[in-house]
């Protein structure tokens, strides 16, 4: 926890780092009594209680020990989907005399999700006469994690005909363009099977893959399809 004084005001900020698996029920987060400078022996008598400004009560305080503990498993992706910052706001209240401590508890992201593609297989119909340098947009991978734990890069399986170029969207998301780097010949090879791998920036990294099936057609194929 990180205590910050605000010009004498009874305000405390607790920084909860989920740099390990999501905290389960009963897990101790911090010792509120110690952080607030309160005598543990007086917590029951002073009726210490915790009120969360949230729809669900994720945390509570143990009056016997002064510990802040998890009542319901905290999952950052459910609590703050797609947000770079995530806070639980609450009030710790004691009586005789009455004091209210305002608490902000930051839930930091961990890399507990792997990137995934909306479709496991992508079919591309490409003319064998397609010029070298032509590019084809590929669907981006999605990752519930945010910041450095989101998708950061893509890799393409070895191919003499294709490569990829990584693009960055206005929202910072990463996606890849498939680029033709060598002329195609349908008679030599009519189908090219590639694997696109999305990589996140977490430690350790997590990955997700999609298959790209490139089907080559000729002008004769188009004529036969039209008749």
The pLDDT score that the predictor gives to residue 18 is 47
Give me the helices (H) in the chain, please. 32-36, 76-79, 219-226
Domains observed in the chain: 11-107 (2.60.40.60), 121-226 (2.60.40.60)
For 4-35, give the DSSP string: --BTTBSEEEEEE---SSPPPTT-EEEEHHHH
pTM of the full structure: 0.71
Q: How many C-beta neighbours within 10 Å does residue 113 have? A: 19
Tens-digit pLDDT string for the chain (227 aa): 333 433 344 556 655 554 445 567 888 888 888 888 889 999 999 999 988 876 678 889 999 999 999 888 887 888 888 788 888 888 888 998 888 888 888 888 888 889 999 999 999 999 999 999 999 999 999 998 888 899 999 999 999 999 999 999 888 889 999 999 999 999 999 999 999 999 999 988 999 999 999 999 986 655 455 44
Q: d(Cα 132, Cα 138) in Å, to the nearest integer?
A: 17
Q: How many C-beta neighbours within 10 Å does residue 188 have? A: 8
Torsion of CA 184, 187, 191, 195, to 10 degrees: -50
The pLDDT score that the predictor gives to residue 109 is 80
Q: How many C-beta neighbours within 10 Å does residue 114 have? A: 19
The pLDDT score that the predictor gives to residue 108 is 81
CB 180 within 8 A of CB 161: yes
The pLDDT score that the predictor gives to residue 20 is 46
């Amino acid at each position: 926890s990180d205590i910050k004084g605000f010009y004498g005001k009874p305000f405390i900020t607790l920084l909860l780092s989920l740099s390990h698996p999501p905290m389960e029920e009963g897990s101790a987060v911090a010792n509120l009594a110690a952080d607030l400078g309160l005598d543990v022996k007086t917590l029951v008598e002073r009726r210490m209680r915790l009120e969360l400004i949230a729809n669900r009560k994720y945390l509570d305080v143990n009056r016997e020990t002064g510990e802040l503990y998890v009542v319901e498993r905290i999952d950052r992706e459910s609590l703050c989907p797609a947000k770079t910052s995530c806070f639980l706001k609450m009030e710790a209240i004691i009586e005789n005399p009455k004091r209210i401590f305002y608490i902000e508890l930051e839930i930091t992201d961990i890399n507990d999700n792997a990137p995934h593609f909306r479709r496991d297989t992508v079919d591309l119909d490409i003319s064998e006469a397609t010029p070298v340098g032509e590019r084809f947009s590929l669907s981006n991978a999605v990752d519930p994690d945010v910041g450095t734990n989101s998708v950061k890069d893509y890799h393409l399986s070895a191919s003499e005909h294709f490569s990829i170029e990584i693009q960055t969207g206005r929202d910072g998301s990463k996606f890849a363009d498939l680029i033709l780097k060598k002329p195609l010949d349908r008679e030599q090879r009519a189908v090219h099977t590639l694997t696109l791998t999305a990589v996140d920036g977490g430690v350790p990294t997590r990955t997700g893959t999609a298959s790209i099936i490139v089907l080559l057609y000729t002008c004769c194929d188009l004529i036969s399809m039209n008749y």
